[in-house]
Amino acid sequence: MRILVISDIHANLTAFEAVLQAAGPFDAAWCLGDLVGYGPDLNECVELVQTLPNPLCVKGNHDLAICSSDNLDIFNNEAGESILISRKIISTANIEFLQTLPEVITNDLATLVHGSPQNPIWEYILDTYTANLNFALVNTPLIFVGHSHLPLMFTRDKNGKKVVRHFPKPGVQTPLTRRAILNPGSVGQPRDNDPRASFGIFDPEAMTWEIHRVDYDIASVQERIIRAGLPEKHARRLSAGW
Ligand code: ZN
């Protein structure tokens, strides 16, 4: 069984389509939030995610912000500006879809959140201290998170004494023998200085995890960002991956 795990698509349809093509056949898609924000293709991305096989999707901070009229103080200038423009582009039906997204999804194997179990919308899990704290808050063997746009993995041994941060290499299958927090990286706006779209494949039977990176036509997305009147910075950063 193959589960496609994606996060932080950020209205980048070209990257999203490249990921779907590179992923090959999969049985389910788990999406960890931030379908919108920064990019130009809001409606297309929100609609495409719903057509994937057995989709599960949680709400991200950008999904939340676009649905409400306040909430912009916490974003930096360009992020706030992109949300204001995005609110004009998105359809009513797609706003309604984003509003219905849960903040947390839990099944036997995994907890799915955008940020962290402690704060599903806003907290970044970047260090072992925060990872350890969050391992203690849920019982599932695995926790899937997004938000940082970094393909990171944290593992924890049985007694919780040792939490280790890993930087999984693309194309290398990792056996999941311990509890783990898994971040697939970002589809639409990677921030690890590698501009290629990032995603993960989780096999719940073999208990393996694998990060993949895929090239896409960045220039065409940059053009659409400028044409939509979105901040130029969000176009520039895509070519360098920050
Ligand atoms: Zn994001």
- Summarised one tens digit per residue, pLDDT across range 1-29 is 999 999 999 999 999 999 999 999 999 99
* Mean of pLDDT values over 127-135: 96
Q: How far is the CA of 69 from the centre of ligand 1 (A)?
A: 19
Burial class (CB in 10 A: 0-12, 13-18, 19+), 3: buried
Spatial distance between the Cα atoms of 207 and 226, rounded to a whole number of angstroms: 42
* pTM (two decimals): 0.95
Residue type, 103: E
pLDDT score of 71 more than 60:
no
Q: How far is the CA of 37 from the centre of ligand 1 (A)?
A: 8
Q: How far is the CA of 227 from the centre of ligand 1 (A)?
A: 22
* Mean of pLDDT values over 62-68: 91
* Mean of pLDDT values over 130-144: 97
**DSSP sequence for 142-205:** EEE--SS-S--EEEE-TTS--EEEE-PPTT--EE--SEEEE----SS---SS--SEEEEEEETT
Look up residue 90 and give its two tokens.
């998105």
pLDDT band at residue 73, thresholds of 50, 70 and 90?
A: low
pLDDT digits (tens, 9 = 90+) for 179-188: 999 999 999 9
Q: How far is the CA of 83 from the centre of ligand 1 (A)?
A: 12
Contact 118, 125 (CB under 8 A): no
pLDDT at position 79 is 77
pLDDT digits (tens, 9 = 90+) for 25-53: 999 999 999 999 999 999 999 999 999 99
pLDDT at position 161 is 77
Q: Radius of gyration (Cα) for the chain, nearest Å?
A: 17
pLDDT score of 202 more than 90:
yes
Spatial distance between the Cα atoms of 229 and 48, rounded to a whole number of angstroms: 23
The pLDDT mean for the chain works out to 95
Strands (E) across the chain are located at: 3-6, 28-31, 55-57, 104-106, 110-113, 142-144, 153-156, 163-166, 174-175, 179-182, 197-203, 208-214
pLDDT band at residue 82, thresholds of 50, 70 and 90?
A: confident
pLDDT at position 74 is 64
Q: How far is the CA of 195 from the centre of ligand 1 (A)?
A: 15
Q: How far is the CA of 206 from the centre of ligand 1 (A)?
A: 29
pLDDT at position 179 is 95
Q: How far is the CA of 158 from the centre of ligand 1 (A)?
A: 31
Q: How far is the CA of 7 from the centre of ligand 1 (A)?
A: 8
* Mean of pLDDT values over 63-80: 76
pLDDT at position 32 is 98
Q: How far is the CA of 25 from the centre of ligand 1 (A)?
A: 26
Q: How far is the CA of 161 from the centre of ligand 1 (A)?
A: 30
Q: How far is the CA of 76 from the centre of ligand 1 (A)?
A: 13
Q: How far is the CA of 163 from the centre of ligand 1 (A)?
A: 25
Q: How far is the CA of 2 from the centre of ligand 1 (A)?
A: 24
Q: How far is the CA of 151 from the centre of ligand 1 (A)?
A: 13
- Of the candidates 190, 140, 179, 143, the residue with the CA atom closest to the CA atom of residue 7: 190
Q: How far is the CA of 34 from the centre of ligand 1 (A)?
A: 5
DSSP code, position 6: E
pLDDT digits (tens, 9 = 90+) for 90-128: 999 999 999 999 999 999 999 999 999 999 999 999 999
Q: How far is the CA of 165 from the centre of ligand 1 (A)?
A: 20
Which neighbouring-strand residues pair with 4?
29, 201
pLDDT at position 140 is 97
